[in-house]
């Protein structure tokens, strides 16, 4: 615009200069003619506009003298997007530069701005904010109070706020801030966007996405077992959209998952108890408690766990067996012995007491255990030998001790093995196996452990005496005196040998009908459901021999010293006198020794 004003001024100046040049030329020509008539010194040179004519006939003409270029008023450098409007604007600005206060020019400019304002309003209504903004930028230069200016500015601010709200809402949604914090949550920000632009598709889609995200998060929390937080999340969903059916569907899905999970967890507890993983079972029960599982069922599981810790998955007195892997045959029958405590050994006042039966001391079993319901039979030991090819100490030694009915003495005899009975005859399958050493008994329980995957062993002395007494503290498990007939296979004054001999020292007025070992479980079981604990044959135990109970374990475990070669034998036998049939009676023998009075039974951890 300054360039155009300068060019106009330059043109006017050039025009004036031309006039001045012409005046000078005329003066020179006049001067040349007059030099002949008038004296040069008396003749003055006149410029155009000084005087035309001469004498009285002369008249004057005022012509402006241009000594410098004309100064134009600076105009704003603005343009309009429409070429015709822009050409009109530039013409008006050029004219206004030299005549700033010309009312005609001002009127034309107002009319032009009115047209531009109409165009800006049309662009704004059409949603073309950029075009409207460009037009009002021109209008604001000339008519800053035009209403369209504020309208466009307000729309620009609204759109900026809308974009900001949508951006912040998307960020809040991505961060999981669905309905909190207040004013900055995805829900609040999308609602702000809708307030700025009702029906805004992006805001409506964002709210739908927020709602779906809340439901998905609720399900995730449920799957993370935080059902309380999941329910709270569903409550939040109602703040975003009133859709009770969707919430009910999500709640039902969560409930189904909870039921399935709790049922599965319940099953895991039972499986852990059955597998003997008691710590795991306890941890699982704690999780059920935290998830507000049925109280009655939790109490039932806790009771099962408590029983299992004491007795495995079994109950006191229950009879069971384990399957042998190699033959699929059942192993020895076992009886669950309940947990408890007793006084081990005999009191000083007990008749026929031996010094190695004390000092009397309390032994406590924190857990139950299992004992063989009977002594190991010939048939059961045969299965072991056939499966392993094991050779007993008697077989390697070539002899064992038998009872000779003719003399009533017990002597060694060659070629006597586990296959023979107490007199050296072939043993019946259901008799307790005899002529076996402590070493042979250990080999058998090791084989059972391998076959069943359970921990079989010989009973400890404390376990045996506890199970033998079966809650009694009397000399015998049945009481103080001779038992009722057919209680245990012991020496009774009513028994007779194959040669019609009788016992010199025996229980008075008692008979059991056997001389020598009886088939297992032929007589009465004691109160724990165990047979032949106080009679039939004496039994090898796991403890090394100690001649007193000083420093003996009080937890029921076997008292073992590395390298010991003598172990405890306990329990009455078919040949036991009343003194030897007492529950506290104990003796020992070398690990490799064998006898027709000694067998064994098994123990197993629960």
Residue linked to tokens 């008038």: 38
Centroid of chain to Cα 466? 45
Closest alpha carbon to 321 in 126, 452, 166: 452
Average pLDDT over all residues of the chain? 88
Q: Which residues pair with 404 in a beta bridge?
A: 409
**Tokens linked to 206:** 């964002």
Closest alpha carbon to 569 in 430, 437, 420, 397: 437
Name the pLDDT band for 309 (thresholds 50, 70, 90).
confident
Plot region of 563 (φ>0 → left; ψ -120 to 50 → alpha; else → beta): left
Is the pLDDT at 8 greater than 90? The verdict is no
**Residues of the chain above pLDDT 90, percent:** 78
Question: Residue 339: what are its φ and ψ, rounded to 5°?
Answer: -65, 160
Is the pLDDT at 7 greater than 50? The verdict is no
Helices (H) and strands (E) in the chain, counts: 15, 13
Q: How far apart are CA 558 and CA 459, in angstroms?
A: 8
Plot region of 233 (φ>0 → left; ψ -120 to 50 → alpha; else → beta): alpha
**Tokens linked to 342:** 């007793």
Environment class of 355 (CB within 10 Å of its CB; exposed 0-12, middle 13-18, buried 19+): exposed
Q: What is the pLDDT of residues 526-551, one digit of tens each?
A: 999 999 999 999 999 999 999 999 99
Q: What is the pTM of this model?
A: 0.58
Q: Which residues pair with 342 in a beta bridge?
A: 363
Listing DSSP states for 466-524 in one string gives HHHHTT--SSBTTBSSPPPTTSSS--BTT---TTS---SS-BTT---S-SSPPPTT-S-
Is the pLDDT at 307 greater than 70? The verdict is yes
**Tokens linked to 190:** 């999308």
Terminal CA-to-CA distance of the chain, rounded, Å?
A: 107
Fold of the CATH domain 334-604: 3.90.1580
Q: What is the pLDDT of residues 346-386, one digit of tens each?
A: 999 999 999 999 999 999 999 999 999 999 999 999 999 99
The domains of the chain are located at 2-151, 156-242, 256-311, 334-604
Eight-class DSSP state of 40: G
HSE (CB half, 13 Å, CA atoms) of 501? Answer: 17
Closest alpha carbon to 365 in 342, 388, 384, 383: 342
Q: What is the pLDDT of residues 561-581, one digit of tens each?
A: 999 999 999 999 999 999 999
User: What is the model's pLDDT at position 361?
Assistant: 97
**Tokens linked to 362:** 């309390």
Residues sharing a CB contact under 8 Å with residue 48, sequence separation 6 or more, in sequence order: 19, 20, 22, 23, 26, 61, 63
Is the pLDDT at 31 greater than 80? The verdict is no
Q: What is the pLDDT of residues 443-497, one digit of tens each?
A: 999 999 999 999 999 999 999 999 999 999 999 999 999 999 999 999 999 999 9
């Amino acid at each position: 615009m300054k360039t155009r004003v300068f060019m106009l001024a330059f043109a006017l100046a050039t025009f004036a200069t031309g006039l001045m040049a012409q005046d000078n030329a005329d003066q020179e020509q006049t001067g040349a003619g007059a030099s002949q008539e008038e004296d040069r010194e008396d003749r003055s040179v006149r410029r155009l506009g000084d005087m035309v004519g001469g004498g009285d006939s002369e008249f004057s003409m005022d012509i402006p003298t241009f000594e410098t270029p004309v100064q134009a008023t600076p105009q704003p450098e603005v343009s309009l997007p429409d070429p015709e409007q822009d050409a009109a604007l530039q013409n008006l600005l050029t004219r206004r530069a030299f005549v700033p206060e010309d009312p005609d020019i001002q009127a034309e400019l107002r009319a032009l701005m009115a047209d531009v304002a109409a165009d800006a309003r049309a662009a704004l209504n059409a949603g073309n904010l950029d075009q409207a903004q460009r037009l009002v930028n021109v209008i604001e230069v000339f008519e800053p109070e035009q209403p369209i200016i504020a309208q466009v500015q307000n729309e620009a601010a609204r759109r900026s706020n809308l974009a900001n709200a949508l951006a912040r809402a998307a960020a809040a949604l991505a961060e999981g801030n669905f309905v909190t914090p207040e004013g900055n949550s995805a829900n609040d920000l999308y609602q702000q966007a809708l307030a700025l632009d009702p029906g805004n598709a992006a805001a409506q889609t964002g709210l739908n996405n927020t709602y779906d995200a809340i439901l998905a998060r609720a399900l995730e929390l449920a799957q993370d077992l935080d059902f309380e937080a999941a329910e709270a999340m569903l409550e939040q969903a109602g703040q975003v959209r009133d859709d009770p059916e969707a919430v009910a569907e999500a709640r039902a899905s969560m409930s189904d998952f909870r039921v399935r999970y709790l049922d599965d967890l319940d099953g895991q507890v039972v499986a852990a108890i059955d597998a003997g993983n008691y710590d795991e079972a306890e941890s699982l029960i704690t999780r059920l408690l935290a998830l507000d599982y049925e109280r009655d069922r939790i109490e039932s599981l806790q009771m099962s766990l408590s029983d299992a810790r004491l007795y495995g998955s079994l109950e006191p007195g229950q009879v069971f067996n384990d399957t042998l892997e190699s033959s699929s045959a059942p192993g020895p029958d076992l009886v669950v012995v309940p947990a408890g405590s007793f006084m081990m050994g005999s009191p000083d006042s007990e008749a026929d007491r031996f010094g190695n039966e004390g000092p009397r001391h309390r032994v406590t079993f924190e857990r139950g255990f299992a004992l063989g319901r009977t002594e190991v039979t010939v048939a059961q030991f045969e299965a072991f030998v056939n499966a392993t090819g094991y050779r007993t100490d008697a077989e390697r030694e070539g002899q064992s001790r038998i009872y000779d009915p003719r003399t009533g003495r017990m002597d060694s005899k060659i070629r006597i093995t586990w296959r023979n009975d107490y007199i050296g005859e072939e043993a019946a399958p259901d008799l307790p196996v005899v002529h076996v050493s402590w070493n042979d008994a250990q080999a058998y329980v090791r084989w059972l452990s391998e076959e069943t995957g359970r921990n079989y062993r010989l009973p400890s002395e404390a376990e045996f005496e506890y199970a033998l007494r079966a809650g009694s503290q009397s000399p015998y498990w049945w009481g103080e005196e001779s038992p009722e007939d057919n209680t245990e296979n012991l020496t009774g004054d009513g028994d007779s040998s194959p040669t019609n001999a009788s016992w010199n020292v025996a229980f008075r007025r008692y008979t059991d009908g056997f001389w020598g070992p009886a088939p297992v479980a032929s007589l009465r079981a004691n109160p724990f459901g165990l047979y032949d604990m106080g009679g039939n044959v004496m039994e090898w135990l796991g403890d090394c021999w100690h001649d007193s109970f000083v420093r003996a374990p009080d937890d029921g475990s076997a008292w073992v010293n590395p390298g010991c070669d003598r172990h405890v034998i306990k329990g009455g036998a078919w040949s036991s006198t009343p003194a030897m049939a007492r529950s506290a009676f104990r003796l020992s023998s070398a690990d490799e020794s064998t006898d027709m009075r000694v067998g064994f039974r098994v123990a197993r951890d629960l």
